[in-house]
Amino acid sequence: MPITLERRKCLRTSLQGLEVFSRNTGGLIGRSRDISPNGMFIETENPLKPGTKMLLEFKLPNEMIPIKAYSEVKWNKRGLTSEAKSTGMGVQFINIYESDRMRLEKYSKSLNGESSPKEETINSDDFTLADFINISDKDLFAKTKPFWKYIEDYKQKGYYIYRKFLLSASRNRILVFDEVAGKKREVINMGSGNYLGLTTHPKVIEAACKAIKKYGTGSVGSPLHTGSYDIHKALENKLAEMKGCEDAMTFPSGYATNVGCISALVRKGDVAIIDKLSHASIIDGCALSGGTLRVFRHSDIQSLRQVLEDSKEKYGGKLIIVDSVFSTEGDIAPLPDIVEVARQYSAKVMIDDAHATGVIGEKGKGAVSHFNMDGKIDIVMGTLSKALGGIGGFIASSKEVINYVRHYGRSAFFSAALPPPIVAAVLAAIEVIESEPERIQTLWKNVNYMKECLKNLGFKILDSQSAIIPIIIGDDLLAKKMNKRIFEEGVYLSVFPYPSVPRGQERLRLTIMATHTKEDLDTTLEVLEKVGREFDILRRESAIFSRKAA
Ligand code: PLP
């Protein structure tokens, strides 16, 4: 039944004096006077024109999370009528979460003595991780309380995707403890970066065990002091050779590598230029560097050229940093074009080869080999924690650059060097990649089979060129619900909700391994089809989804 003007009037309740802010400007707009199911009347000195659209924010006393409502000014009064004794405007809520509208109404009822406000509960479906970051309060820990309730509700619904404890090694099938079912279960592992299955290769395990016996468990020293062993040098030489560079150095993790390398090289007055979809570690390295950060559209050379042109006179050194394979998209950066334009503007190029190493290029050497660009990329960064099956990160470059970062890369210098068993394991893993090229061939056979089948089933997949296959779902809650069902059916994969990806791009992500059997792949496809049908998301016509066209 439509709500008539009369009915709306009788549904109005008093909501005196609640401050209303604009999310667009951050400024105070005015104070609320009453609220109806459709919107509210705001007393303000400067009523905005009818038709003005804006995002409003209200902060209820004693509640941590502000309420947001996308609204439109419907009418304004300038103190002329008895209805609006004060100047103000009536706004209609165009978009407000039901739970938020109820919070406002509950508060207005409590003001009118109808009931006392109860302890706030949180419906996790209405929030995302982004909602709990910028909550400011004199008590620094105050924000942790609503966040706790959010996570509790999230877990209770069975959507919580983090911290699934593995009870076995990370193979094609893993044993996990399923909190919802309250028991151990074996599931197919479609969520690991162990692309070549090397964490459990007998030669890799044997090398790690031997190193423990010879050197002990940890390196217990910074790499510039007592933390470097002969096998660290051997690994650096091997990584430099793999990436076609003069020298290489390691860091405690891939994350620490980007943070340490970028912040050592880019300083105040310089500029770091990155792709919009860069990994968090690249963004954080730039933030720490003291230089300026500029962003170009995803893999868009025109946009990169524009940023370089704008930066030409403004900055000293320029470093362009891109993922060679993008972790949420699976696509490969257009490196030859990036290098060509970089040279025109005297900019240096650094690539993050985390998901390329062991996967693309001759013998899994990564993006430089894939594009035949030996010696043309200034810095190649990589991680030891994916196809190489260990932990840690590295950069490979000229001997001068490596020498500089060794002494100024704070995340390496001020951290202990990698543990000897890990160094030995990664060295063995690289040897296995070289001596068993069929592993990469099997990986690609599996990837191509899965891409083809998913496309034929009608899933909207991104046109990935790596072992990462993203399935676009386009809705946060739907992605979580689907993931829950997929897990119940025996497949473990990753979900990327907002804010990990932009709204409307929420996705499931499969990472394929060389050790997946045909049976693993077919069972996964059966499960995905079953759940895809349950949620009615299979669309045969538009199976491949290009981000650029979207
Ligand atoms: N760079 C990219 C593109 C990644 O995907 C990751 C990890 O997910 C990292 C860097 C960080 O690597 P690590 O897990 O070794 O810290």
Residue 161 has pLDDT above 50, yes or no: yes
Task: Give per-residue pLDDT as tens, 240-271.
Answer: 999 999 999 999 999 999 999 999 999 999 99
Residue 120 has pLDDT above 90, yes or no: no
- The helix, strand and coil proportions of the chain, stated in percent and rounded to the nearest 5, come to 35, 20, 40
Closest C-alpha to 239, from 441, 433, 467: 433
- 127: confidence class by pLDDT, cuts 50, 70, 90: confident
Nearest-CA residue for atom 13 of ligand 1: 254
Q: Is 153 in the pocket of ligand 1 (CB under 6 A)?
A: no
Residue 134 has pLDDT above 90, yes or no: no
Residue 244 near residue 397 (C-beta atoms within 8 A): no
Q: What pLDDT shows up at residue 16?
A: 79
CB burial of 108-140 (b: ≥16 within 10 Å; e: otherwise) equals bbeeeeeeeeeeeebbbbebbeebbeebeeeee
- Ligand 1 binding pocket mutation candidate from 324, 350, 385 (most atoms within 8 A of CB): 385
Which atom number of ligand 1 is nearest to the Cα of residue 258?
10
The arithmetic mean of pLDDT across residues 82-95, rounded, is 74
Residue 434 has pLDDT above 90, yes or no: yes
Q: What pLDDT shows up at residue 311?
A: 95
- 210: confidence class by pLDDT, cuts 50, 70, 90: very high
Task: Give per-residue pLDDT as tens, 439-463.
Answer: 999 999 999 999 999 999 999 999 8
Helix (H, G, I), strand (E, B) or coil at 475: coil
- Which residues make Cβ contacts (< 8 Å) with residue 315, sequence separation at least 6? 269, 270, 271, 291, 292
Q: What pLDDT shows up at residue 541?
A: 54
Ligand 1 mean position to 255 CA, how many Å? 6
- 546: confidence class by pLDDT, cuts 50, 70, 90: low
Between these two residues, 432 and 31, which has the higher pLDDT value?
A: 432
Ligand 1 mean position to 41 CA, how many Å? 49
The arithmetic mean of pLDDT across residues 213-238, rounded, is 96
Task: Give per-residue pLDDT as tens, 468-525.
Answer: 999 999 998 999 999 999 999 999 999 999 888 988 999 999 999 999 999 999 999 9
The arithmetic mean of pLDDT across residues 118-139, rounded, is 79
Q: Which helix (H) or strand (E) holds 412?
A: helix 410-413
Ligand 1 mean position to 344 CA, how many Å? 30
Residue 528 has pLDDT above 70, yes or no: yes
The arithmetic mean of pLDDT across residues 93-116, rounded, is 77
Q: Give the global pTM.
A: 0.80
Q: What pLDDT shows up at residue 180?
A: 75
- 545: confidence class by pLDDT, cuts 50, 70, 90: low
Ligand 1 mean position to 310 CA, how many Å? 30
Which atom number of ligand 1 is nearest to the Cα of residue 193?
8
Q: What pLDDT shows up at residue 117?
A: 45
- 540: confidence class by pLDDT, cuts 50, 70, 90: low
Return d(Cα 266, Cα 289) in angstroms, integer. Answer: 6
The arithmetic mean of pLDDT across residues 47-54, rounded, is 88
Return d(Cα 483, Cα 2) in angstroms, integer. Answer: 37
Return d(Cα 477, Cα 483) in angstroms, integer. Answer: 10
Sheet holding 271-275, edge to edge: 247-251, 393-397, 379-383, 348-352, 318-323, 271-275, 292-296
Residue 549 has pLDDT above 70, yes or no: no
Return d(Cα 21, Cα 420) in angstroms, integer. Answer: 56
Q: Is 328 in the pocket of ligand 1 (CB under 6 A)?
A: no
Burial class (CB in 10 A: 0-12, 13-18, 19+), 422: buried
Helix (H, G, I), strand (E, B) or coil at 98: helix
Residue 168 has pLDDT above 50, yes or no: yes
Nearest-CA residue for atom 12 of ligand 1: 254
The arithmetic mean of pLDDT across residues 274-287, rounded, is 97
Between these two residues, 545 and 6, which has the higher pLDDT value?
A: 545
N residues, the chain: 550
Nearest-CA residue for atom 8 of ligand 1: 327
Ligand 1 mean position to 16 CA, how many Å? 51
Which atom number of ligand 1 is nearest to the Cα of residue 325?
3
Closest C-alpha to 388, from 141, 119, 127, 195: 195
Between these two residues, 142 and 419, which has the higher pLDDT value?
A: 419
- Which residues make Cβ contacts (< 8 Å) with residue 165, sequence separation at least 6? 176, 177
Q: Is 323 in the pocket of ligand 1 (CB under 6 A)?
A: yes
Q: What pLDDT shows up at residue 106?
A: 80
Q: Is 354 in the pocket of ligand 1 (CB under 6 A)?
A: yes
Q: Is 254 in the pocket of ligand 1 (CB under 6 A)?
A: yes
> For the chain, what percent of residues have pLDDT higher than 90?
66
Residue 3 has pLDDT above 60, yes or no: no
The arithmetic mean of pLDDT across residues 164-181, rounded, is 90
Closest C-alpha to 338, from 355, 320, 326: 320
Helix (H, G, I), strand (E, B) or coil at 437: coil
Q: Tell me whether the omega of the peptide bond preceding residue 419 falls within 30 degrees of 0, making it cis.
A: no
The arithmetic mean of pLDDT across residues 105-114, rounded, is 76
Return d(Cα 502, Cα 300) in angstroms, integer. Answer: 18
Average pLDDT, the chain: 90
Q: Is 281 in the pocket of ligand 1 (CB under 6 A)?
A: yes
> For the chain, what percent of residues have pLDDT higher than 70?
93
Backbone CA torsion sign across 465, 470, 471, 472: negative
Q: Which helix (H) or strand (E) holds 40?
A: strand 39-43
Q: What pLDDT shows up at residue 94?
A: 84
Return d(Cα 290, Cα 317) in angstroms, integer. Answer: 13
Residue 10 has pLDDT above 70, yes or no: no
Residue 376 has pLDDT above 50, yes or no: yes
Residue 123 has pLDDT above 70, yes or no: yes
- 164: confidence class by pLDDT, cuts 50, 70, 90: confident
Q: Is 350 in the pocket of ligand 1 (CB under 6 A)?
A: no
Q: Which amino acid is at 394?
A: F
Determine which of 65-79, 171-185, 250-264 has the lowest per-residue pLDDT on average: 65-79
Return d(Cα 308, Cα 88) in angstroms, integer. Answer: 48
Ligand 1 mean position to 382 CA, how many Å? 8
Q: Is 192 in the pocket of ligand 1 (CB under 6 A)?
A: no
Helix (H, G, I), strand (E, B) or coil at 197: coil
Q: Is 524 in the pocket of ligand 1 (CB under 6 A)?
A: no
Catalytically active residues, by annotation: 327, 355, 386
Q: Is 108 in the pocket of ligand 1 (CB under 6 A)?
A: no
Which atom number of ligand 1 is nearest to the Cα of residue 385?
15
